[in-house]
Structure formats: structure tokens, C-alpha cells
Amino acid sequence: MIEPRPAATVVVARDGASGLEVLLLQRTHTAVFMPGVFVFPGGAVDDADQDTGRWAGSVPNDDAEASRMLGVARGGLAYLIAAVRECFEEAGVLLADHRDGVAVGGDNTLDLVVLREQVCNGELELAELCQAHGLRLHTDQMGYLAHWVTPPGPPRRYDTRFFVAEAPPAQDAAHDGSETIDHVWINPAEALRLNRGGQFPLGSPTIRTLRTLAEFRNVGEALAHGRQGPARAPTAPVSADGRDGRRLIHPGEPAYAEIAKLHREGVSAPAYELIPGVVTRLSPRIRRVVAPNPGVMTGPGTNTYIVGTADACAVIDPGPDIEAHVGEIEAAAGTIGWILTTHTHRDHSPASRALRARTGARVLGMPAPHHGGQDTGYHPDYVPTHGERLSIDPETTLRVIHTPGHASNHLCFLLEEENVLFSGDHVMQGSTVVINPPDGDMGAYLQSLEALCHEDLAFIAPGHGFLMGDPHRVIDRIVSHRLAREAKVAQCLQRLGGADERTLVGCVYDDVPETMHGVAGRSLLAHLIKLQDEGAATQRGGVWYPGG
């Protein structure tokens, strides 16, 4: 597994006509990492940033103080220095003052444009610039907002600290014209609104940070929040058992959030693998049984959840009609009052008929659409409405949330007492969901994800995979990924001028193995239909073109 590289990002903020405004830079469309996306200034921590001896007199706080703010044993100051340096290199804004207190930029004694070019070209190091001109960085004036670690999978991973700093009033920001091609000062709420409309591509950490900043009216409130330090999730490894013995699970691994939860609550012994037929208690109200249907699209198998008590419970997604699995559900559940299905794909709903016949429980869900790939034999006893609350027992309530996109009849169920979302295939672990037209709808999918961001969620219980912590961050990543992929579709259309879907798959999904291009082509079509609906793409004679 690739070890994440230390990195730092800084939110440069100011008070503008619309309230709090932040600086965002647009990355070049040819960038390897997050092409075309608007980001805050930031980058990797360099060796020079970590050599604190070079910064004597140029930083007002010491490493011990900075490390306490970040919650690390040592090396905290290097993150702050890296944030200031990257801000100067990428945005032309130098977060520093002269040692006599005079603001940099206000006295016109420094040509920041020339100095920035020298630093970017390697002719001059920022530490040398500070020593030569008697500058002190604003490392003691910055607030700490967040800690993000790139999950396993991407070829580049970063362990990034997010800071906030006030923009120097006498300096102007400027993109560099190579790594970044545009910059904008924008209110956080407005940036999020444009992003939801598909007009302003943002990465997941940026979206989450903007949501935090949208709560503040001015720079003072944002800095006060940052100086309190962010709420930090536990980052220590946790131990768990599996078929190969006991081992440590580190943050970022798929099982980490679930194992950490089970360690804290002590409801059952945590495991680092999902084994079909094994009943796992996830909370006093939730048990999980994994169906024996592992595969490329189902991961370790479909998760069946039993929610409630032995005296009264609901089964969510009974899964494929496999006799042994149905028997395991019945044995583990006790008295089943309801059988709920998130949707009618054949790995989720078929066992509802056998389980209903064996238990007499009522089946709740939405009928199967008339499109291919559905469980056409599924006929629910009751069709719920969006927002309806189901009382499973006096202390267990499930709220129905209609989430079309992956399937038009897709439902999520929110356990209100624990804020756990049973997400079916709307949110999966370890892979993105296939959106397969005509029943799959990319526009509806993104809208459904956005709606979930307004729910109070503690964990996501997906249809495939482990419990997922930090649900809003998970959702943000999915939205960011989809919008980035959509931007790539638009770029390929512009570059090719017109192409059929087979050619576009190779261009848009050049980072995906060719063996998966058939499946990827379905989501590509969903993106193209969404762009067509928005007037950004059109089809003639089997060829797709940019524009309406």
C-alpha cells in the first residue's frame, strides 16, 4: 500500500461584499491529479520545510507549539511552513510581515512577482527570501481546519492538513498560468451552489471544507474556529481477527471505521474480513449477515441487515435466493415483522419471497421497473412514501428516503436512533456505483447524494462492504469523483470533436482496466445523457458531439 505523503493546504480568506470570501485556484485540465478542479493553494511538505534551523527568526512559533495544535508528536511547524510556501508559489500571496510589523506588499519595497518567479524556478528558497528581507511568516496567525488522508487506491496519496489564514490586504492573488489556469474569490455557499449545478468542479476535501466555512459570516469567525482546532477522529491502528489470525488495521483501510466502532462500544468482536454466513452484531439494534455471492460487482457479497430486537425486527435486503442464506437470516433474526428492500437488482431482493413464505413477514419496497436486470418476480406487500417512518419496535425507527439514480426505485433507510444509513447500492465501499440507463439516471443520482448531505449521519451501512465512518466525507468524495469524470467526458468531446461511445470510453476511462470498459460504458452513457439534458452534448447518428 502506498504511504501517503505529508502535505499542507491553506484557505486564504477575506471579508468581501458577500461576506466571507475564499481564494480558489483552478488546476490545469491536463493535470494528472484532479484536472480542471478548483482547489485551495497547497502541496507536499518539502525537506526544506522540515529543516527548522533554516527558519530561525522567520517563524514566530516553535515546532512544539505547532505540533500541539495539529495533535502530532513533532513536525507540526513544517506543515504550516509548507502551507505558506505553497500559497506564495501557487497564488502569489505571501503570508508574512516585515519583522518591524510593516505589512508585506503595503510598502512596495518587495517585487513579489519577481520573487515568486525565483522561488518557483528554484533560484531562491523561501527561507532565504525571509532571511534576506527580514520577513516573519504568519504561522502563528493561522487556524487549523481539518486533516484529510487520501484513501488507498489512487497512485498518489497525501496526508494533508488544512489551515485558514487572513489574506494580506495589500496583496493581489494571481494563478501561475501553468499548474493553475484561473483563480476566483468566492463566498463558500455560492461555490457549493455552483458545484451542485455542475458549473464549478470541486474535490471532496474542498467541498467539505467549504461546508464548514459556509457557517461563518466573516474571517474573524473562521479564524476563531480554526484556532480551537478541529474535532479529530482517532487515528491509531486497531486490532481485529480474521481467518489468517490477528493483525493491526490502519486508518484508511476499509474495515477501520467498523473495527474502531466495535472496539469503542464492545458489542461484538471485530473482524477485518467479511465472511458469508457469519452473524456480526454492529450495535444493540443492528446485525449483519453476508450472502455467499462474492464477485466483481458485489465485493465480498451482499449485506443483509437485521434491525431491531429478537422480539421484533426488520430484515433489510435479504439478498439473492440462496436457501442456506435465507436459513441463516431466519435463525439469526428472531421474529421478523418486515422485509425491506433497497431496490430490485437481483443481488438484493429475490430472497424476499422465500423469507416471506417462511416467516409471514410483510415485504416493503418499490415495484421493479420494466427495464432489464431487475427482479421482475418482486411484488411488495406495501410501497412506502419518501419520508415515511417505520416503527420496528418501541425503540427502533427507520425513515424511508427515496434515492433514485442507481435504480429508479432505490430506497435508503435511516435508523433514527443511531443515525445509521442503510444505503443499499446508492453508496458502496471500495468502488463507484454503476449508473446504467435507461433506469439509471446520473442527474437523479447526484441530486439524491446531495439530499443525503443534509441528513444527520453517523455511519453508512452499505449493501456491500464494511460500515463506513464520516458519511458526509464519503458522499463528498463520490460527488467529486462523478463531477471530475463528467468534466473529463466534456474534455474528451471537445478534444475529439465527436466520437462514438466506444471511442469515448477509451478516452474518459483511460485510468480503468480495459476489462472494465464494458461496465464503465454504461456510466459514460449516463453522463452523456445528463450533459445532453443540460445542453452540453448532443447525439447524431450514433456519434456524440459537444454542445447542444
Q: Which helix (H) or strand (E) holds 471?
A: helix 471-496
Phi-psi category of residue 245: left, alpha or beta, with phi > 0 → left and psi -120 to 50 → alpha = left
CA atoms of 184 and 328, how far apart (whole Å) = 57
Tell me the CATH number at 492. 1.10.10.10
Last residue of a domain, one of 413, 448, 469: 469
The answer to the question of residue 403 being in a domain is yes
CA atoms of 548 and 546, how far apart (whole Å) = 7
pLDDT of residue 234: 43
Kindly give the pairing relationship between strand 5-16 and strand 19-27.
Answer: antiparallel
Show the cell assigned to 412. Answer: 435508503
Q: Are residues 283 and 162 in the same domain?
A: no
Q: Are residues 161 and 262 in the same domain?
A: no
Strand positions, DSSP E, 433-478: 459-462, 468-469
CA atoms of 391 and 421, how far apart (whole Å) = 16
Enter the DSSP assignment of 382. Answer: B
pLDDT of residue 235: 55
Q: Are residues 182 and 319 in the same domain?
A: no
Closest alpha carbon to 482 in 190, 211, 198: 198
CA atoms of 272 and 270, how far apart (whole Å) = 7
Work out the angle between the directed axes of helices 126-133 and 112-120 (0-180°, nearest 10): 140
Show the cell assigned to 53. Answer: 534551523
Q: Are residues 224 and 279 in the same domain?
A: no
The answer to the question of residue 97 being in a domain is yes
Q: Are residues 87 and 222 in the same domain?
A: yes
The answer to the question of residue 292 being in a domain is yes
State whether residue 468 is helix, strand or coil.
Answer: strand
CB 473 within 8 A of CB 480: no
Q: Are residues 438 and 387 in the same domain?
A: yes
Give the residue numbers spanning the domain of 337.
256-469
Last residue of a domain, one of 211, 228, 245: 228
Per the structure, how many domains does the chain have? 3
Work out the angle between the directed axes of helices 517-533 and 442-452 (0-180°, nearest 10): 90
Q: Are residues 202 and 76 in the same domain?
A: yes
The answer to the question of residue 246 being in a domain is no
Show the cell assigned to 311. Answer: 422480539
Q: What's the gap between Cα 191 and its chain centre?
A: 17
Q: Are residues 520 and 541 in the same domain?
A: yes
Q: Are residues 461 and 488 in the same domain?
A: no
Last residue of a domain, one of 441, 469, 497: 469
The answer to the question of residue 238 being in a domain is no
CA atoms of 156 and 30, how far apart (whole Å) = 16
Closest alpha carbon to 505 in 519, 523, 517, 487: 517
Q: How many residues comprise the chain?
A: 548
Tell me the CATH number at 286. 3.60.15.10
State whether residue 82 is helix, strand or coil.
Answer: helix
Q: What's the gap between Cα 284 and its chain centre?
A: 28
Kindly give the pairing relationship between strand 313-316 and strand 336-340.
Answer: parallel
Tell me the CATH number at 48. 3.90.79.10
Residue type at 133 in one-letter notation: H
pLDDT of residue 152: 59
The answer to the question of residue 241 being in a domain is no
Helix, strand, coil % over all residues of the chain, rounded to 5? 30, 25, 45
The answer to the question of residue 251 being in a domain is no
What is the reported pTM?
0.70
Closest alpha carbon to 330 in 310, 303, 350, 300: 310
pLDDT of residue 241: 92
Q: Are residues 451 and 494 in the same domain?
A: no
Q: Are residues 305 and 214 in the same domain?
A: no
- Residue recorded with cell 510598502: 107
Q: Are residues 536 and 421 in the same domain?
A: no
The answer to the question of residue 237 being in a domain is no
State whether residue 292 is helix, strand or coil.
Answer: coil
pLDDT of residue 141: 93
**Mind listing the pLDDT tens digit of every residue in the chain (548 residues)?**
567 899 999 999 999 988 999 999 999 877 666 788 999 999 999 999 998 788 888 898 889 888 888 888 889 999 999 999 999 999 999 999 998 888 887 666 788 999 999 999 999 999 999 999 999 999 999 999 988 877 655 567 788 999 999 999 989 999 988 888 999 999 999 999 998 877 889 887 888 899 889 989 999 999 998 887 655 444 568 899 998 899 989 877 899 999 999 999 999 999 999 999 999 999 999 999 999 999 888 889 999 999 999 899 999 999 999 999 999 999 999 999 999 999 999 999 999 999 999 999 999 999 999 887 799 999 999 999 999 999 999 999 999 999 999 999 999 999 999 999 999 999 998 778 999 999 999 999 999 998 998 899 999 999 999 999 989 888 888 887 888 888 899 999 999 999 999 999 999 998 888 888 999 999 999 999 999 999 999 999 999 999 87
CA atoms of 548 and 530, how far apart (whole Å) = 12
